[in-house]
């Protein structure tokens, strides 16, 4: 996701980021290089070196820091970002299980009612176009119980 | 990891796997060196 605009809001002590159609906040307290009353932000810009997937800010002292869009999405608990993270974790678990299982790949494919290409697509951790539902089916075939815990967010 | 403004790979340091993109052997070696130097 590309950042379209970023500005520092000193009153709110946060950056305000526009990425896609989303407006997201990122507080100064989360920064590795923090501004202070004596060392304020003088410049902030969308970083082209990061393919516009991050921004860089410069303080009066000349110190600078960079924030990647994924830090912002994580802080804001972005649903799409969290979904991708869940898919990634499920995929790693499936990879571990498939190496440990005594089931032949052909049998796994048969039980899933799918094709070899589809199985390899499911096992590719860089593929985010598959669904959580498909991963759950695969893990079920691999003799796993997957439990989801739903709880209120902590403050 | 970016090159000329393009994402090459998003690397999972904990599991040593690419999360996005692909890591060539050259990039893997670079990551290994950065880890050994404690920079990651």
What tens digit of pLDDT does each residue of A99-146 get? 999 999 999 999 999 999 999 999 999 999 999 999 999 999 999 988
pLDDT at residue A148 in the model: 85
Do residues B17 and B31 touch, judged by C-beta distance below 8 A? no
Q: In which band, very low, low, confident or very high, does the pLDDT at A155 lie, cut at 50, 70 and 90?
A: low
Mean pLDDT of chain A: 95
Partner B contacted by A27 (CB < 8 A): no
Number of Cβ within a 10 Å radius of residue A40:
12
Comparing A90-94, A133-137, A146-150, the range with the smallest average pLDDT is A146-150
Question: What's the gap in Å between the CA of B32 and the closest CA on chain A?
Answer: 20
- DSSP-based three-state secondary structure for A31: coil
Q: CB A125 to CB B2 under 8 A?
A: no
Instruction: Judge whether residue B39 has pLDDT over 80.
Output: yes
Question: What's the gap in Å between the CA of A48 and the closest CA on chain B?
Answer: 6
ipTM of the prediction: 0.88
Could you say which of A51, A70, A88 has the minimum Cβ distance to residue B5? A51
Helical residues (DSSP H) of chain A, grouped into ranges: 69-75, 79-100, 105-112, 116-122, 132-141
Instruction: Judge whether residue B40 has pLDDT over 90.
Output: no
In a mutagenesis test of the B interface, which of A48, A50, A52, A126 is the best target, namely the one with the most B β-carbons within 10 Å? A126
Question: What's the gap in Å between the CA of B19 and the closest CA on chain A?
Answer: 5
- The residues, any chain, with a CB within 8 Å of residue A72's CB and separated by 6 or more, are A17, A19, A24, A26
What share of chain A has pLDDT > 90, as a percent? 91
What share of chain A has pLDDT > 70, as a percent? 99
Instruction: Judge whether residue B29 has pLDDT over 70.
Output: yes
E strand segments, A60-131: 64-68
Mean pLDDT of chain B: 93
Q: For chain A, what are the domain ranges?
A: 3-75, 79-141
DSSP type of residue A17? E
């Amino acid at each position: 996701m590309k950042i379209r605009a970023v500005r520092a809001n000193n009153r709110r002590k946060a950056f305000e980021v526009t990425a896609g159609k989303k407006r997201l906040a990122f507080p100064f307290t989360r920064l590795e290089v923090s501004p202070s009353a004596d060392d304020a932000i003088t410049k902030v810009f969308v970083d082209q070196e990061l393919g516009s997937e991050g921004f860089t800010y410069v303080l009066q002292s000349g110190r600078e820091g960079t924030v990647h869009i994924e830090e912002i999405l994580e802080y804001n608990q972005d649903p799409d970002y969290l979904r991708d993270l869940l898919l990634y974790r499920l995929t790693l678990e499936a990879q571990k299980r498939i190496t440990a299982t005594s089931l032949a790949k052909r049998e796994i494919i048969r039980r899933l009612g799918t094709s070899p290409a589809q199985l390899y697509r499911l096992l590719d951790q860089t593929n985010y176009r598959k669904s959580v539902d498909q991963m759950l089916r695969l893990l079920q075939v691999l003799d796993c119980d997957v439990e989801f815990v739903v709880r209120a967010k902590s403050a | 990891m970016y090159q000329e403004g393009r994402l090459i790979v998003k690397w999972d340091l904990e599991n040593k796997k690419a999360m996005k993109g692909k890591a060539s052997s050259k990039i893997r070696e670079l990551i290994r060196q950065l880890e050994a130097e404690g920079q990651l």
